[in-house]
Amino acid sequence: MMEKVRFQIEFPINSSKGVLFNIFSTPSGLSEWFCDDVNIKKDVHIFMWDGSEESARLITKKRDEFVKFRWLEDEEEGTSNFFEFRIKIDDLTGDTALVITDFAEEDEIEDSKELWSAQVDRLKQVLGA
């Protein structure tokens, strides 16, 4: 199996920190843009899309700042891969951005970025941003 490479993408979002944090840290928020539905068992989030499921452990979160998950598949393989939603506020302009950190195989990074971009477009529609 190829080793995955870390990448980051940043999306300007016209939203408050509180609203943005809520939309990527709660099941109801995540199911509005990231997946069809979410179930939580302890610290494991079960994300559902079109009948398929992927499970991720909530590793850490800090209110109004970030949420970090690790896919259980990566955990079982012993990798330190994760995906993270982080809120970034520009000190000068006060503009808000969503920074997504994820891992993908080198030849799949562009596809992963396109997928995240489509997801964030959906998020912006939900927010009306």
The number of residues making up the chain comes to: 129
Cα separation of 74 and 72, whole Å?
5
Ranges of each domain in the chain: 4-127
Contact 97, 10 (CB under 8 A): yes
pLDDT for 107 equals 95
Answer yes or no: is pLDDT of 32 > 70. yes
Is 20 in contact with 34 (CB distance < 8 Å)? no
pLDDT tier at 3, thresholds 50, 70, 90 = confident
* pLDDT attached to residue 28: 94
Q: Average pLDDT of 46-63?
A: 95
- Please name the residue that has the structure tokens 């452990």: 57
Global pTM reads 0.93
State the average pLDDT over residues 109-119: 96
Give the span between the Cα atoms of 57 and 41, in whole angstroms.
10
What average pLDDT does the segment 57-79 reach? 95
CATH class given for the domain over 4-127: alpha beta
Residues of the chain above pLDDT 90, percent? 94
The answer on pLDDT for 129 being more than 80 is: no
Q: Position 86: which residue type? A: R
Q: What is the DSSP letter of 124?
A: H
Mean pLDDT of the 70-95 span: 94
Say if residue 29's pLDDT is above 90: yes
Going by pLDDT thresholds of 50, 70 and 90, the confidence category of residue 13 is very high
Give residue 1's pLDDT. Answer: 60
